[in-house]
Amino acid sequence: MGEFTEMTAAFSAISRFVDRRQRFFFPAPAVAVLFLIIVLPIVFNLYLTFTKWTVGLGQPQFIGFDNFVEAFGDERVWNGVKVMVYFSGASLALELFLGLMIALYFNRAFRGSEAVQAIYIIPFAATPVAVALIWRIMLNPEIGVINYMLTSIGLPPGLWVSSEHMVVPTLVMVDVWKWTPMITLIVLAGLKSLPQDPYEAARIDGANPLQIFWYITLPLIRPVLIAALMLRSLDNLKEFDMIYTITQGGPGIASETLYLYSYNVSFGFFKAGYGSALMVVVFLVVLVFNVLMNRLRRDASAV
Amino acid sequence: MRKALKFVALAGLLCTSLISASASAQIDWKQSQGTEIRFLMNKHPFTTYIEPKVAEFEKLTGIKVVIEAFPEDQYRNKLTIELNSGGKVDGYMIMPGQDDLYYSKAGWLQPLDAYIADPKLTDRSWDPKDFFASFAKASSVDGKQIGVVINAETSLLAYRKDLFAKFKQKVPTTMKELEATAKFFHGKEVDGKKLVGITLRGKKAAATSQWVDFLYSFGGSWTNAQGKSNFASPEDIAAFKFYGDLLRNYGPQGGTMLHWAESTSAFMEGKAAMIYDANVFKALYENPKESKVAGLVGYAVIPAGPKGLRLPHVSNWSLSIAKASTPERQKAAWLFVQWATNKENCLGALLAGVPSGRKSSWDSKEYKANDKQPDWTAATMKSFDIGQGQWNPPVINVPEIRDITGQVIVDAIEGKDVAASARKAAELMDKKMER
């Protein structure tokens, strides 16, 4: 009998202990897994940024900030930043502008609007790498269908991604084609939830549609626009699969973003230390951009 | 009765002595009986050929062989990681032209010379002299052999025999003629389609593999006598410029984005009069299901440079032995490598479509009877004889230096100032080169 009571007592003591500290025990497995797959790699990556290490050739050697000094003097880093700013600036601006315009258009009820919207979001729903492979074939200057169509209606063929001057605009075009629907969807949801009273008041006061858009819709939708821009920029600034599939950064390094370059350094040249340092630079760029955007958004909501 | 017994005994004695006489020419294949070895392989046609035959080897030797094969993309990563982490690997497939210096610096390659020289370990019939010297050299680091060739490749000029006959053109034998022939065909209309003169790889690092044949034939080299980059030398610049001009002026549109897949498909579509790429792509050109030019292709060795040099490269896959393995398992691994590369297996692999590094395979009746493109065979043999084993920069960080080199090729194709680009690349190469 005694033994049994003792055991029960021990069990209830344990269960009381656990009960009181539920907030530690229940998330523990998840925390452990997250620690293993997220925190550890990040910490290891941070450690690597201060080392020189070619995979296979000895152990990582601590070299302090040398990787960052090297990055500063590396022409390809600056080229990568330039391509990143060019590509992201152009594609984000176009996607935001077109996304907003198309959302405004879809916001009016018209016959078959649902069917049109469904077709319109197909590019956004498609698998990025598969889509990029198709674009790569379509853009081929010799056997691609785009040049075939252009020449069959009497227009001159283009070099598209095979020309160092046209490669980034072409990639921007593909990115805009694929991602504008996402911006549209977010903005459309925002438009649908706007209050109707300011519009009625404006109409009574005799405002024209342009004035209504400029003085009412745009200020009201601004926080949503910035949120959409932030969401999109997270992916866009480190765009990889599409560029890698279509050009691998070529011709030469004409479409090699900083992110692609850091991939090449890490997994093409096996220079894990320098590659990690470049990844950290990309991370900082994305972070700074998003902090700025977040501040803009907060200011916008305060209005 | 007694006489009969005597006779039987005598006959028995005779037999035993005969057996032992023939056995004396053979090594003891059972010497590593019971050992288990593990080989990592690329899922290459050679692997497909040898895997089903491994049971024969196991029966012959009593050695248990575990082969793990991976597709090439994953294979290199997998192998590097396993060797780096000290996994139990006894032997593996390697592309020496790409990885030998890196692997040897990392301490992953066991020299084979001691095994080859040991009559107890290496059968006389294995005959090392039967291998093309160029491949034995290609599988060596600092004069030590670190692998045995199982797949032998080179690059060839392939051309449209039908068009050359129709327009009465000769197969170019010098770089000057090559340019003139490319110019001649460029823009010619055949069956309503405009031809290009020649197609080549132009995509950055990938282009260096064939460009290097032009580099050597122009008398250029990767590095000079001081071990510095030689890109700024007149010979190297001439090679960059010639290659770039050829592709820009007489090649397909968008030359800087041509990898072998794009380049060979232009040729197989019948859009190009000539192509310079790996000889093994013959299998693509001559496949009537995929190629419009099957049966119409002729083959030749690279044309000679300004000083008469004709120096194509040879590249190969080899079987190597892991340095970190134990002596007992290394011995067993050598028996396996030796068996897999014996005359019979090399010939069998060649008949199955894997180009052999042994002369005897190509000279055999079996191969000659089945040879549908004797001019390809002749050109391949010549290229093997004169081929250079060093087709990559002689450094540890091959991919990085290839990338630097590729930028000059891209600039040359785009018609930029080649000399300036080459000087810049030379500086960068000197800074980044690791030996």
Which residue segments constitute the domains of chain B, with CATH numbers given?
29-153+315-386 (3.40.190.10), 169-313+391-432 (3.40.190.10)
Who among B204, B266, B399 is closest to A252 (CB)? B204
* Whether residues A33 and A72 fall in one domain: no
In terms of residue numbers, what domain contains A30?
1-38
* Whether residues A260 and A144 fall in one domain: yes
The per-residue pLDDT for range B34-66, each reduced to its tens digit, is 999 999 999 888 999 999 999 999 999 999 999
**Is A59 part of a structural domain of the chain?**
no
The per-residue pLDDT for range A226-248, each reduced to its tens digit, is 989 989 998 898 889 899 999 98
* Whether residues A109 and A237 fall in one domain: yes
* Whether residues A22 and A72 fall in one domain: no
For residue B60, the distance in angstroms to the closest alpha carbon of chain A comes to 36
The per-residue pLDDT for range A107-146, each reduced to its tens digit, is 887 788 888 888 888 998 888 899 999 999 899 888 789 9
The pLDDT score that the predictor gives to residue B21 is 41
For residue A41, the distance in angstroms to the closest alpha carbon of chain B comes to 17
**Is A54 part of a structural domain of the chain?**
no
B108: nearest CA partner in chain A: A56
**Is A53 part of a structural domain of the chain?**
no
Comparing A56 with B214, the larger pLDDT belongs to: B214
* Whether residues A162 and A274 fall in one domain: yes
* Whether residues A132 and A236 fall in one domain: yes
Separation of alpha carbons A49 and A272, rounded Å: 8
**Is A147 part of a structural domain of the chain?**
yes
Q: Is B149 within 8 Å of B139 (Cβ atoms)?
A: yes
* Whether residues A73 and A7 fall in one domain: no
* Whether residues A32 and A73 fall in one domain: no
The closest alpha carbon to B332, from B41, B27, B45, belongs to B27
Write down the mean pLDDT value for chain B: 91
Residue B8, pLDDT above cutoff 70:
no
CB contact under 8 A, B256 and A162: yes
Residue B19, pLDDT above cutoff 50:
no
What CATH number corresponds to the domain at position A204?
Answer: 1.10.3720.10
- Report the complex ipTM: 0.79
The pLDDT score that the predictor gives to residue A113 is 81
The per-residue pLDDT for range B195-216, each reduced to its tens digit, is 999 999 999 999 999 999 999 9
* Whether residues A121 and A20 fall in one domain: no
**Lowest-confidence pick of A241-245, B80-84, B247-251:** B80-84
The pLDDT score that the predictor gives to residue A6 is 81
* Whether residues A11 and A142 fall in one domain: no
Residue B18, pLDDT above cutoff 80:
no
The pLDDT score that the predictor gives to residue A4 is 76
**Is A56 part of a structural domain of the chain?**
no
Residue with tokens 């990563």: B77
Pairs of CB atoms within 8 A across A/B: 77
**Is A10 part of a structural domain of the chain?**
yes
Who among A141, A157, A250 is closest to B203 (CB)? A250
Q: Is B318 within 8 Å of B94 (Cβ atoms)?
A: yes
**Is A25 part of a structural domain of the chain?**
yes
The per-residue pLDDT for range A167-211, each reduced to its tens digit, is 999 999 999 999 999 999 999 999 988 888 888 898 898 888 888
The pLDDT score that the predictor gives to residue B46 is 92
Residue B16, pLDDT above cutoff 60:
no
**Lowest-confidence pick of A5-14, A99-108, A189-198, A220-229:** A5-14
The pLDDT score that the predictor gives to residue A25 is 84
Domain total of chain A: 2
Q: Is A91 within 8 Å of A177 (Cβ atoms)?
A: no
* Whether residues A89 and A1 fall in one domain: no
Write down the mean pLDDT value for chain A: 89
Q: How far is CA A127 from CA A122, A236, B26, in A?
A: 10, 16, 60
Separation of alpha carbons B199 and B207, rounded Å: 12
**Lowest-confidence pick of A8-17, A83-92, A173-182, B341-350:** A8-17
DSSP string covering A228-273, please?
HHHHHHHHHTT--HHHHHHTTT-STTTT--HHHHHHIIIIIS-BHH
The pLDDT score that the predictor gives to residue A301 is 61
Encoding tokens for residue A182?
A: 């996402």
Who among A57, A140, A270 is closest to B105 (CB)? A57
**Is A245 part of a structural domain of the chain?**
yes
A265: nearest CA partner in chain B: B400
